[in-house]
A and B are shown apart, each in its own frame.
Chain A
Amino acid sequence: MSELEIIGKSPRRVDARGLMTGAPVYGVDYEMAGMLYAKVLRSPHPHARVIAVETEAALALEGVRSVLWWRSVPQIPHATSGVPHPEPAPYDTCLLNSTVRYVGEPVALVAADSEQLAEKALSLIKVEYEILPAVLEAAEAILPGAPQLHQQVTISEPGLKLIHDPEHNIAAHVDYRFGDITAAFAAADIILERQYETPTMCHCALEPHNSTAYLDAADRLVIVTSTQVPFHVRRQLARALGLPVRRIRVIKPRVGGGFGGKQEMVLEPLVAALALATRRPVRLIMTRAEEFAATRVRHASSVRVRGGVTRDGRLIALEMYALSNTGAYGSHSLTVADAIGKKTMGLYRAQAYHFVADAVYTNRPIAGAFRGYGATQGYFALESFIDELAAELQLDPLDFRRRNHSQRGDYDAMSYKHGPNGFEPGRAFNSFGLPECIEQGQKLIGWYDPRPKDEGPVKRGLGMAICMQGSGVPKMELGGATLKLNDDGSFNLLTGATDIGQGSDTVLSQIAAEVLGVALEDIIITSSDTDLTVMDYGAYASSTTYVTGMGVKLAAEDARRQLLAMAADMCETDPATLSIKQGQILSPHGPTGLSLADIAQETLYGGHRTQIVGKGDWTNPESPPPFYAQFVEVAVDTETGLVQVLRAVNVIDLGKAVHPALASGQVEGSVTMGLGFALTEELLFDANGKPRNPAFVDYKVFSPLDMPQMQTILVEDPEPTGPFGVKSVGEVAINGPAPAIANAIYAATGVRLRKLPFTPSRVLEALEAGVGVRGRRIQD
């Protein structure tokens, strides 16, 4: 391939101007003539039957146009997780449920002429509840005698999932074996078992969930919505409302961050029901408190790891049990629980693996997708555990990892599936920059440098962790685009891919421009609108650049073929001899004098009338993992328990960076979220299941002043199945900080923390208990 002109460079984002000038591009900025404002009445109880809702007083208020509750909306069971049909989740929810299962679940919906009126109407609605016993913790919900949240669902079509064990509130269950685990443990010299806890974490996208619905002139239902998954929302909405897909159009405006929280149908059915009831445009925007308490959260989890090693430091047996709290509904229950082990344990070579997971219903907010998607919980456990094993063996944790991590060409031991040829591997590690990530990281942090002794109460230490993720879900994605030539040689790139801030509009435009031999400015991107663009599964699983990027590359190659055929016809030559550079058609002898604008004129107005349209789509056969090494230096104040991260070195192997600045931005953002996950972020609940800290003042996310000094390095080990060698970049780095910080705290103080987040009170408690105090590693 000739030298790349646009890929690998970091131009301004294609949407930069709008973002810089405050253009009204987000759903919250939409207003329509005659628009109504919606508000949601939410359950104050964690578990209750909604017997009756009195709406008269609210409806009597002038300007209140509609009040809906479960009896006035369709009762069609469905799933809300934004994944392809058939969703691997039980159809356990309706638009509004007659039994509510968490504090904050919608009970009634109001549409009124103003937000203030809608608020007032909420206070006039009377609800009769029959209060049911509730359970908040996954470990309690699986015990005999615990309140049962769901009855078994009815399966209406093939491929849908039952609830694994409704009597014990187990929404989903995973049991995966590779090799003979009993024999492997029997051969081990040392066996260690540890348990790790992760909290309920909130996405905190700055743009709250919001949706606007209206009926257009053809009486179709149009939803303008802040979503990562417009096409999944269209299908699920059709089901929830009992409408045909053809009657629904989903438009994704600019989205102000998602992180998985918008990989889900959340508000769309609520505004749709109100728009259908009033036949007026209806807009619903979450308040920040609703955003925290009643949209989606990360699954809280307990992860028990058991490992067997030989005395000379070889890992031979690895076992994990994950108990995941999916909250009131099954949404991403199976897939996240599955990922806790499946996206993690294969990072290490062992003779045998065993992974079991239960995703459990409780009367807590619904857990959904969240950047890292289970791997984040899994890596906190696994990478803490690996350090504990190294300590047990008195080995350098970095050296222990080098000896035991998987190698280039290995199959991921956790990716095997039973197929026609037996137990078949899913993915191989072809692009494998992990060793280089480790090397670069250890040098930059100074892993082997002599370290001064800390004399005072503040102890410093280094820690590290390694991890991987996927690039889309293998054989389960679909992404693509069309490219249409305009009069002046520019192109409309229409894609269903969903830019939620990560920059896919820019990266996909770069790919199209590179293939077509035009400038970035020649590509005009539209994303996404279910009426206009080809099907795309949306922004999740770190898939867009890898999957849709390939779709766009194919679309551009298709368009280029047509352009060159037309050019060859116009110059009476062989298309195979022609190429495009900077919008000009070149022959082996130099410029032909033909530009793309000339071809556009010829095809749109001249002798060869046709519309040149390139089309491409892609489903990925593999899911190559990006690899990542996280190094941190922490300072632990042993008098206050405060842990401060002083430095973070982030090294990622992403295959190839299409736009290095956006790629490193993905890493920096992931690490920052990971720092919050490690140190400050936890949604707390009172005994009744009501969130205690649904505000930024009490739920602490990292601010500019909390940040460590940060260095991000991109390692490029090209992936043969990715467009231009790319793998993914969006999620993997969030997995690094929590275990690296736990390991650094151990190195600094000899105390091992196994429950996130590491708040000062937890750290002090552990220091006072003197858990496992040892000499410090580095300076010894």
Chain B
Amino acid sequence: MIEMNLKVNRERQYWQVAPGETLLEALRRHNYKGPKLVCGTGDCCACTVMLGDKSVCACCLPALKADGQEVLTVEGLADNEQLHPLQAAFADASAAQCGFCTPGFLMRAYAFLNERDNTTLPDELEVRKALAGNICRCTGYVKPVEAVIAAAANWGAGK
């Protein structure tokens, strides 16, 4: 086992990880169950988390790559009882059905909205491009895309 330290959702963590253990395995082993294992090959993005200011597929990333860094999972989005505006937008748009892909969509959308200057709203195509790697088998993407556009309207407040 190898020692590492990182911040997860703003809390300092000291972990022992096995060589080759992925960030997703390590997170789930430490009870961050939000990010999901779906494909294990980086083809669906249900495991997306923020590593620093970038979104990554945690299923393909060695845990040690997060050593000394900050990780944000879906569990860290809400401010205690208060849903993050992005979560609220997804809830209001009925953008989750089974919900298994939702953590990945939320974190990818979070990265996308943080990366862009939101003085203008993104159009549908821009959002679809940003979410191109995320697979959802339930919704047909209509409502998740609507939710991201709705959340963009007052981003900044939600950052």
Are A697 and B140 in contact, CB atoms less than 8 angstroms apart?
no
Q: Tell whether B60 is near chain A: CB-to-CB under 8 Å.
A: no
Within the complex, what minimum Cβ distance (angstroms) separates B95 from chain A? 8
Give the docked Cα–Cα distance between A147 and B129 (Å): 50
A425 contacts which chain B residues (CB < 8 A)?
none
Are B137 and A288 in contact, CB atoms less than 8 angstroms apart?
no
Closest to B34 in A: A22
Which of A10-18, A129-137, A161-169 lines the interface with chain B? A10-18
A203 contacts which chain B residues (CB < 8 A)?
137
Give the docked Cα–Cα distance between A701 and B96 (Å): 18
From A259, A668, A695, A705, contact of B143 by CB (8 A): A668
Are A500 and B137 in contact, CB atoms less than 8 angstroms apart?
no
Within the complex, what minimum Cβ distance (angstroms) separates B112 from chain A? 12
Give the docked Cα–Cα distance between A256 and B96 (Å): 11
Contact with B along A1-31 (1 / 0, CB 8 A): 0000000001011011111111110101100
Q: Tell whether B7 is near chain A: CB-to-CB under 8 Å.
A: no
Within the complex, what minimum Cβ distance (angstroms) separates B23 from chain A? 15
Within the complex, what minimum Cβ distance (angstroms) separates A604 from chain B? 29
A659 contacts which chain B residues (CB < 8 A)?
94
Give the docked Cα–Cα distance between A671 and B137 (Å): 11
Closest to A670 in B: B140
Contact with B along A202-239 (1 / 0, CB 8 A): 01111110000000000000000000000000000000
Are B83 and A665 in contact, CB atoms less than 8 angstroms apart?
no
Give the docked Cα–Cα distance between A707 and B98 (Å): 20
Are B138 and A696 in contact, CB atoms less than 8 angstroms apart?
no
A710 contacts which chain B residues (CB < 8 A)?
140, 142
Are B73 and A22 in contact, CB atoms less than 8 angstroms apart?
yes
Q: Tell whether A751 is near chain B: CB-to-CB under 8 Å.
A: no
A661-B143 contact given A19-B96, A20-B90, A257-B100, CB 8 Å threshold: yes
Interface size class of A (residues with CB under 8 A): 35 or more
Q: Which of A15, A257, A259, A287 has the most CB of B within 10 A?
A: A257
A21-B83 contact given A662-B94, A665-B97, CB 8 Å threshold: yes
Within the complex, what minimum Cβ distance (angstroms) separates B82 from chain A? 11
Q: Tell whether B117 is near chain A: CB-to-CB under 8 Å.
A: no
Q: Which of B31, B78, B92, B99 has the most CB of A within 10 A?
A: B99
Give the docked Cα–Cα distance between A683 and B100 (Å): 23
Contact with A along B80-107 (1 / 0, CB 8 A): 0001000110111110111111110010
Q: Tell whether A421 is near chain B: CB-to-CB under 8 Å.
A: no
Are A673 and B137 in contact, CB atoms less than 8 angstroms apart?
yes
Are B41 and A256 in contact, CB atoms less than 8 angstroms apart?
no
Are B145 and A704 in contact, CB atoms less than 8 angstroms apart?
yes
- Residues 47-101 (chain A) with a chain B CB within 8 angstroms: none
Contact with B along A706-731 (1 / 0, CB 8 A): 01001010000000000000000000
B34 contacts which chain A residues (CB < 8 A)?
21-24
Are A501 and B135 in contact, CB atoms less than 8 angstroms apart?
no
Q: Which of B32, B34, B129, B140 has the most CB of A within 10 A?
A: B140
- Residues 125-160 (chain A) with a chain B CB within 8 angstroms: none
Within the complex, what minimum Cβ distance (angstroms) separates B133 from chain A? 7
Give the docked Cα–Cα distance between A741 and B144 (Å): 25
Give the docked Cα–Cα distance between A254 and B145 (Å): 24
Give the docked Cα–Cα distance between A668 and B132 (Å): 17
B37 contacts which chain A residues (CB < 8 A)?
28
Within the complex, what minimum Cβ distance (angstroms) separates B139 from chain A? 5
From B36, B78, B103, B140, contact of A707 by CB (8 A): B140
Q: Tell whether A260 is near chain B: CB-to-CB under 8 Å.
A: no
Q: Which of B33, B83, B94 has the most CB of A within 10 A?
A: B94
Give the docked Cα–Cα distance between A288 and B39 (Å): 5
Are A21 and B131 in contact, CB atoms less than 8 angstroms apart?
no
- Residues 98-154 (chain B) with a chain A CB within 8 angstroms: 98-103, 106, 127-129, 131-145
A661 contacts which chain B residues (CB < 8 A)?
93-94, 143
- Residues 11-56 (chain B) with a chain A CB within 8 angstroms: 31-41, 43-44, 46
B43 contacts which chain A residues (CB < 8 A)?
695-697
Within the complex, what minimum Cβ distance (angstroms) separates A731 from chain B? 13
A665-B133 contact given A696-B39, A705-B128, CB 8 Å threshold: no
Q: Tell whether A542 is near chain B: CB-to-CB under 8 Å.
A: no
Q: Tell whether B8 is near chain A: CB-to-CB under 8 Å.
A: no
Are B98 and A257 in contact, CB atoms less than 8 angstroms apart?
yes
A19-B140 contact given A10-B94, A288-B40, CB 8 Å threshold: no
Are A206 and B141 in contact, CB atoms less than 8 angstroms apart?
no
Give the docked Cα–Cα distance between A521 and B143 (Å): 24
Q: Tell whether A579 is near chain B: CB-to-CB under 8 Å.
A: no
Are A705 and B40 in contact, CB atoms less than 8 angstroms apart?
no
- Residues 676-701 (chain A) with a chain B CB within 8 angstroms: 695-697, 701
A704-B137 contact given A21-B77, A21-B87, A22-B74, CB 8 Å threshold: no
Are B33 and A22 in contact, CB atoms less than 8 angstroms apart?
yes
Are B135 and A665 in contact, CB atoms less than 8 angstroms apart?
no
A705 contacts which chain B residues (CB < 8 A)?
128-129, 131-132
Q: Which of A13, A18, A703, A707 has the most CB of B within 10 A?
A: A703
Are B41 and A696 in contact, CB atoms less than 8 angstroms apart?
yes
From A287, A662, A669, A703, contact of B135 by CB (8 A): A703
A259-B132 contact given A20-B91, A661-B93, A696-B43, CB 8 Å threshold: no
Give the docked Cα–Cα distance between A21 and B88 (Å): 10
From A19, A208, A664, contact of B99 by CB (8 A): A19
Are A503 and B128 in contact, CB atoms less than 8 angstroms apart?
no
Give the docked Cα–Cα distance between A208 and B36 (Å): 10
Q: Tell whether A200 is near chain B: CB-to-CB under 8 Å.
A: no
A695-B98 contact given A20-B90, A671-B140, CB 8 Å threshold: no
From A20, A704, A712, contact of B106 by CB (8 A): A20
Give the docked Cα–Cα distance between A254 and B38 (Å): 16
Q: Tell whether A255 is near chain B: CB-to-CB under 8 Å.
A: yes
A695 contacts which chain B residues (CB < 8 A)?
39, 41, 43
B142 contacts which chain A residues (CB < 8 A)?
664-665, 668, 707, 710, 712
A500-B98 contact given A206-B44, A206-B135, A206-B136, CB 8 Å threshold: yes
A256 contacts which chain B residues (CB < 8 A)?
36, 98-100
Are B101 and A703 in contact, CB atoms less than 8 angstroms apart?
no
Are B141 and A704 in contact, CB atoms less than 8 angstroms apart?
yes
Give the docked Cα–Cα distance between A705 and B144 (Å): 13
Give the docked Cα–Cα distance between A287 and B38 (Å): 8
B102 contacts which chain A residues (CB < 8 A)?
19-20
Q: Tell whether A331 is near chain B: CB-to-CB under 8 Å.
A: no
From B40, B75, B99, B103, contact of A287 by CB (8 A): B40
Q: Tell whether A509 is near chain B: CB-to-CB under 8 Å.
A: no
B73 contacts which chain A residues (CB < 8 A)?
22
18 A-B interface contacts by CB (under 8 A): A17-B91, A20-B83, A21-B74, A21-B87, A206-B137, A207-B38, A287-B40, A501-B99, A502-B97, A503-B97, A668-B141, A669-B139, A695-B43, A696-B43, A697-B41, A697-B43, A705-B128, A712-B142
What are the 7 A-B residue pairs with the smallest beta carbon separation, nearest first? A22-B34, A501-B98, A256-B100, A668-B140, A19-B99, A672-B140, A22-B74
Given A12-B94, A704-B128, 5 new contacts (CB under 8 A) = A206-B98, A257-B100, A668-B141, A668-B143, A696-B43
Mark B residues whose CB is within 8 Å of A.
31-41, 43-44, 46, 73-75, 77-78, 83, 87-88, 90-94, 96-103, 106, 127-129, 131-145
